[in-house]
Amino acid sequence: MPRKGENIYKRSDGRWEGRYAIIIDNTTGKKKYHSLYGKTYSEVKKKLIVAKQGVATNRLLETSKTKYKLAEWLQLWLSQYAKFNVKDSTFSNYYYCIHNHIIPKLGYVNLKQLNTFNLQVFFNEKLANGRIDGKGGLSSKSVKDIHTILSAALKQALDNNLIDKNPCMKIKLPTDKYSSIRVLSVDEQKILEDAALNSEHYLSIAIILALYTGLRLGEVCALQWKDIDLSNGILRVTSNLQRIKLVSQEENKKTKIVIGTPKSSSSIRDIPFSRGYVVT
């Protein structure tokens, strides 16, 4: 006989069997059961606890499928996933794109109602007239950045069984348009270099450094004395400085300075000084 309310039996072959409901028909009230087996009563009881918890979680997720709006899921994704896996500067960019571009247009849509077509219309609109100031469309890079963020959030929703597929996967994104970059001529470089070397402004050395090393602005600003080896003529790039928008205002400030790692692992590098700058 089973113990009261547990559905755990001892079988004639000596094993213990536990049964639990995996499907309940809300119309008829009928249940479909699944069985677990073990050598002892306590083993089966532990298995049943885990199995029942799994059923309860799946039912909760199934219910959530019809309740989550995109805005609710995006804010949950920001706080529970993105926040712990990206840099502060990246998180700030995610937050800005979600709250200024995605939620105002699509936040009211139910997760299950998102499809490739309404997302394609959204991205096309952003490309044509998506600037916050109303002065035209976003660049193809900005549209692709928004797509990357939304796609990552929907992939997590897919992994959590909140949606059946990621509608961002079939979106047709704009082709990148590259404009030519005009570099300084030799004469122009000489004029800039002479002006910087003859200036007493504290930023003049930064101009020389950028000119001869190709450092990004944030890398120049993040340099410290420990990064400069004058004896061996080596400059080590290990950090990057950025001003990022605050997600929540601190002391009425809108931005803050953050020093972190460079853009990618390959950006951490040693750069030799040009001749004439090595101390011997």
Model pLDDT, residue 36: 84
Q: What angle do CA 166, 171, 172 make, to 5 degrees?
A: 165
Containing 255, the helix (H) or strand (E) segment is strand 253-260
Whether the CB-CB separation of 169 and 152 falls below 8 Å is answered with no
228-263, pLDDT tens digit by residue?
Answer: 888 888 889 989 888 877 776 444 567 788 888 877
Burial pattern 30-44, b for ≥16 Cβ within 10 A else e, equals eeeeeebebeeeeeb
| Residue spans per domain, the chain | 8-65, 70-170, 182-214, 219-280
Residue 229, strand partner residues? 234
Whether the CB-CB separation of 76 and 69 falls below 8 Å is answered with no
User: Across the chain, what does the average pLDDT equal?
Assistant: 84
Q: Note the CATH number of domain 70-170.
A: 1.10.150.130
Residue 23, strand partner residues? 32
Instruction: State how far the Cα of 159 lies from the Cα of 113, in Å rounded to an integer.
Output: 17
Whether the CB-CB separation of 168 and 151 falls below 8 Å is answered with yes
Model pLDDT, residue 278: 46
CA distances from 272 to 17, 269, 276 (A): 72, 10, 11
Model pLDDT, residue 68: 82
pTM of the model: 0.62
Is the pLDDT at 26 greater than 90? The verdict is no
Most confident of 30-44, 98-112, 178-192, 265-279: 98-112
Model pLDDT, residue 134: 87
Averaged pLDDT for residues 81-103: 91
Angle between helix 140-159 and helix 70-80 axes, rounded to 10 deg: 90
Model pLDDT, residue 23: 66
Residue 234, strand partner residues? 229, 272
Model pLDDT, residue 280: 45
CA distances from 203 to 192, 196, 197, 218, 225 (A): 13, 8, 10, 13, 16
pLDDT band (50, 70, 90) for residue 276: low
Residue 153 CB-density burial (10 A; 0-12 exposed, 13-18 middle, 19+ buried): buried
Whether the CB-CB separation of 101 and 137 falls below 8 Å is answered with no
Whether the CB-CB separation of 146 and 104 falls below 8 Å is answered with no
